[in-house]
Amino acid sequence: MFRTPIRSLATATRKSLTIGLIPADGIGKEVIPAARTAIEAVGSDIPTPKFIDLAAGFETFARTGVALPEETVDILYNDCDCALFGSVSSPSKKVVGYSSPIVALRKKLDLYANIRPVLSVSPIPGEPSKVDMVVVRENTECLYVKQEQQTIGEHGKEARATRLITERASTRIGRMAFELALARPRKHLTVIHKSNVLSVTDGLFRESVRAIPASDPRFEAVTVAEQLVDSAVYRLFREPQIYDVMVAPNLYGDILSYLGVVPSVNAGDNFIMGEPVHGSAPDIFGQGIANPVASIRSAALMLRHLGYTQAADRIDNAVDSVLREGQLLTPTLGEVRRPRR
């Protein structure tokens, strides 16, 4: 099993670790406390953690009229070394004045990379995983710039959305993906796009990523392939083991890796925020059956990014052990069973 290192933000002089906790909506209020417990359990492997509870989300918006309070952003920026975000409820219909706080946080803190590892747990400790891949998603552009408008045309209502792809953002997410691929045994990178149809926007993304090795000879060791996004989805179902690192524009990366027990980190050059890859699940909130695996693994990813590899390994190994034993599962992983007494 291979745990991908990410560029470290660790400092040798850090005596404490201040972590912002943003449970936000729904089951975020159940899974983030579980992640906190896991962090506290690693003890001396990390500096003494200090936790700051912060507000954001649709429930915060309903209560205050603001989904992402400026106080939350200020505390994250000025007082926290890292953060964990839970889940957000985003209404399917337009709500005047509301926009997703997680999208806003990524932009305000310039967390331009959403890194989502997908790793199968072998039933035998030490046996290689059948699936071991990382989806690297550009986090600030594409359709998520949320520039939409509705007009009345000849045939009634017309809705348009602006899709933004820039050379700068494509190059820096591509460089992050190359760094990750270079650190992995297979050293293989797949560029995901749809430039056969979207030749201008996806074409720019593809060209920007493919141009990176020319400016850094280290990356010549990475084998680069391409895959159209629709066929990539098909191959993920049929043969996920073929992939190592995938890099994609914002929307494609989100769709390709939206799995309920997958962890992620939102990474920038100066800050890191863990985030489980699932929604707020209002249908199961409060029933005690929300699966905390993604949030616990996100905490491990966050610590790994900060340079605390031993602590991250302890958390990941503990989760692996529980999954192998199969004695305490939630409905997302199978029948609910209780530990032997």
Whether residues 235 and 275 share a domain: the answer is: no
Give the pLDDT confidence of 148-180 residue by residue, as tens digits. Answer: 899 998 899 999 999 999 999 999 999 999 999
pLDDT of residue 331: 66
For residues 222 and 189, the answer to whether their CB atoms sit within 8 Å is yes
Residue with tokens 């493919």: 210
* CATH number for the domain that contains residue 240: 3.40.718.10
H helix or E strand, kind and range, residue 28 = helix 28-41
The predicted pLDDT at position 8 comes to: 55
Beta bridge partners of 136: 115, 247
Kindly report, residue by residue over 110-119, the tens digit of the pLDDT: 999 999 999 8
The confidence score (pLDDT) of residue 15 equals 76
Mean pLDDT across the chain: 90
Q: Indicate if 222 and 275 belong to the same structural domain.
A: no
What pLDDT shows up at residue 119? 87
pLDDT value, residue 117: 94
Structural Rg of the chain based on CA atoms: 20
Q: What is the mean pLDDT of residues 229-236?
A: 94
Domain count, the chain: 2
Q: In the predicted model, is pLDDT for residue 268 greater than 90?
A: yes
Confidence of residue 7 (pLDDT cuts 50, 70, 90): low
Among candidate residues 203, 229, 261, the one where a domain is terminated:
261
Residues 92, 12, single domain; the answer is yes
- Res 92: pLDDT: 76
- The H-or-E segment that residue 151 falls in is strand 142-153
Does 255 lie in the same domain as 119? yes
The predicted model scores a pTM of: 0.89
| Residues of the domain holding 192 | 114-261
Alpha carbons 328 and 339: distance in angstroms, whole number: 6
Whether residue 41 is found in the same domain as residue 67: yes
Residues 242 and 161 occupy one common structural domain: yes
37 and 133, same domain (yes or no)? no
- C-alpha 299/C-alpha 312 separation (Å) is 8
For residues 134 and 4, the answer to whether their CB atoms sit within 8 Å is yes
Q: Is the pLDDT of residue 130 over 60?
A: yes
Query: DSSP state, 296?
Result: H
Q: Are 328 and 288 in contact (CB under 8 A)?
A: no
